Each structure stands twice: as structure tokens, then as C-alpha cells.
Structure 1
Amino acid sequence: MKYLCSLGSNIDPEMNIHHAKQQLQALNSNCLFSQNIATKPVDIDTQNGFLNALFIIDTSLSSHELKQRFNQIEEALGRDRSDPERSIKDRTIDIDILGPLDEGPEVPDYLQSLTTELGLAS
């Protein structure tokens, strides 16, 4: 199944996005990545801007198994997944599944510009 996913970082973002992409490619070499774009923080109080990207991954893993792999990558890059406030703190990397590609997953407004590159925008 193909999933549309997002990547984001606001702690040393160039390095962490690069390392995350390497690990995602190791998980599945068929990942298709958008360019990285600078975005403003959403729902987080910080002075650190984000670097974000979208990607499509084609995998036989279930969404639950895929999220577990993404969590492992986040932890390997220094994200504390046990912190209950992790969603409102600066992060080395955040990898999210937006949804199965064939179900037209909702893309956050700040990432909409990247959908054309991946052939998703009409």
C-alpha cells in the first residue's frame, strides 16, 4: 500500500531531515520525496522555524507497523517519544502518516504546495 507521509524538524533541521530520509530509504528504497520547505511553527510556542517535506512510501507494512518504524527512526534521531508534551516541543524529527494515498489523505495547508511535485494536485 502507498501512504502519504510528512517529515518535519526544527532542531538542526537540515541534518535531521537528511538523516531521516536516509533511514526511510533504508526502510524502503521506493520512497518519493518532495523538496524541503521552510515553514512557521504550528500549534507550538517556539522561535525555531521548521523544515518540512512530504513523501510517498510503498510498503507491505500495516499503518500501525509503519508508524512503529517511524517512531523508531524518530527515537534514533533523538526524539523523546515518552515525553507527554512532545507534540508541543521543539523536535529533531517528526514523521507522520497522513493516510493511504488511494483515500486522498488530507494535507495540512502549510504543505499543500508540495503536493504538485508528488503528482497529487490537480
Structure 2
Amino acid sequence: MPPIPLTNEQAAALHECLISLGSNIDPDHYFGQALRIISHECDLLARSEAIRTAPVGYQQQPDFLNAAMLVSTPLEREAFRAYLKEVENRLGRVRGVIKSGPRTMDLDMVAWDGEVVDEGYYHYDYVRMPVDEVLASSGRTLNDKKTS
């Protein structure tokens, strides 16, 4: 069955979200799973290559793979944030006492409709580099509150 085209009203109601992905438990497997799930359930507009990074915070764990993706969704911001947590759960995410500890998948909203919503973008290369790659490849820009 071919996709049903969106009406102009439905298309106007779509939001764009830049997502940061991170995994250090079987990351190749979980990156593939996250990409499959999100691209099936959202409209994948762009994605970065994965980069390998050393852990931040808790050091007694494997290196991470980090990447970013840009998607569009009809969900509102808080509903989409809850959706990302639900995807993490589906991918076996266990939230332990060590917040920066190992994980199968971490999905964080970095920007919503062009507005930065995660200060990590300004502080961590493992967030900024993949996001900037997605911005460059998609022709998008962010409303940078740090310079306004």
C-alpha cells in the first residue's frame, strides 16, 4: 500500500527534532536497531556517521559510539521526549545508580524545531560534532541562543 500524502494542515503540524544517540553496550547492534525503529516510526531526514568517544564521567566502561539524526514527527515535544525514552526501554536500556554508566542506547533531544533544548550541544564534542554534521548535510541551522 503506498503512503497516504499529508494534507497541508498535517504537514504544517510536523515538528523537527535533532536527536543525539549514544551506546557502549554492543553499540553496532543497538545503533542499527535504533535507526530501524526510529526511521520506521518517524520521518528520518538526515543522520550522521557514528564516532567513537571516550566515556565522560564514570570512566570504568567501554568507549561509546555517538551519532545524531534529524527526524520529523507530528508529536508534541513532551510526547516525543516520552517516545524516545520508550524506544530506549524497547532497546533494553537499564537506568542504574551511575547516571553516566553503560547503556544499550541513550536518545536525547538536542534541538526542537531549530531551538537548542540540550545544553550538552555547547559543552560536549560527542554531541556537537554529529549534530553539526546533520545540520550541514540537511541544510538546517539552529537558533543559537548563546550568540543572540
Report deviation, 1:41: 0.6
- In the TM superposition, 1:1-122 aligns within 5 A as 1-81=15-95, 83=96, 85=97, 87-104=99-116, 106=119, 107=121, 108-114=124-130, 115-119=132-136
Q: Which runs of 5+ in 1 are unaligned?
A: none
Mean CA deviation greater in 14-23 or 25-34: 25-34
Q: TM-score if structure 2 supplies the norm length?
A: 0.71
Larger Rg: 2
Identity of aligned residues (%): 30
State the aligned residue count. 120
Q: CA RMSD in A?
A: 2.1
Shift of residue 31 of structure 1? 3.9
Deviation at 1:45, TM superposition (A): 2.8
SS in 1 for 2:44: coil
Unaligned runs of 5+ in 2: 1-14, 142-148
Mapped to 2, the partners of 1:43 and 1:66 lie a distance apart of: 27
TM-score (norm 1): 0.84
Structure 1 residue ranges, 4+ long, deviating more than 4 angstroms after superposition = none
